Structure 1
């Protein structure tokens, strides 16, 4: 495990040596931004709406305490969505789509010797292939999280309006109640870290694929598994560091 972590750090350091021309590099980043952000927009929207709706229904089903006001549903959905559901749950789903795609792409290039050909021509494959993916993911993932926040809260509103007995106005009042903008900052900090974790681990697993086409699938699976574990560990660490002062 320590050896693998050392290889991972050396892999990250190698991205900054012998850079490719700036125009070519920016073109790669733009292409990756489309693949990472725009192509993931549909699944993020669908998951966010249903996630918010299910959260609202679950909370409403347990709304039995006489001292709890009806606007508590809005407060709970907002806090759960902003603080945890949007960055973390979407991050795990994002890993399954984008992380596996990155690992499979680089793994296929490795076993077909395309990466070896680039290195023989003097091109830093880490800088040309990997760094644009990481930059694009770190840049685009926070935007996806912001969209997920909005749609998840809106999904909760739709469920509150059509599927529960809670008045929609009470839900809206809860959204406005005791709002702390720092929670948004925490979520965005998480999204930056998660974007780096997802892309860097996926690229690392794909870049060092060895064997045949079967091993590409194994690298993709390992990338998703390791990224999910890393996200959950990072989530605990970031929550404690960023919100520990409230304890």
Structure 2
């Protein structure tokens, strides 16, 4: 498909790489925020069923204990994670050999490489945010 795009005069980097990296960079933080909201809702459900706590009391207590230093570094990390996932996936896809077997190997390699990058990015961002917040 990449060769066909090049032959037709379309820029495959613009149509494939940029859009995928942008989509990953935007959607991973949005999915994380959605998952956090569902976790708060699940916590409320468990508290309401177990102890009969009201909605107002639960969210007042939960949100007063939450600080910007808890939320902002986590959201910033997910932006970097999304960029790394999109970039590694596109890089491995573009550098794969011809044939379906090499596409499978490239996909497997992309997952492993992106996982390693996520661990490295997480370690660096945690050290930077801890030094900034607690300096």
Aligned-partner Cα distance in 1 for 2:61–2:134: 21
Unaligned runs of 5+ in 2: none
Aligned-partner Cα distance in 1 for 2:80–2:35: 17
Write the mapping of 1:49-128 to structure 2, written as runs, cut at 5 A: 114-128=1-15
Residue 238 (structure 1) shift: 0.6
Larger relative contact order (CA 8 Å, sep ≥ 6): 1
RMSD, matched Cα: 2.3
Aligned-partner Cα distance in 2 for 1:171–1:208: 51
Deviation string 1:75-112 (CA, Å, 9 cap, x unpaired) is: xxxxxxxxxxxxxxxxxxxxxxxxxxxxxxxxxxxxxx
1:233 equivalent to 2:123? Answer: no
TM-score normalised by L of structure 2? 0.82
The one of 3, 17, 23 aligned to 1:136: 23
Unaligned runs of 5+ in 1: 1-113
The one of 112, 122, 129 aligned to 1:242: 129
Partner residue, 1:15: none
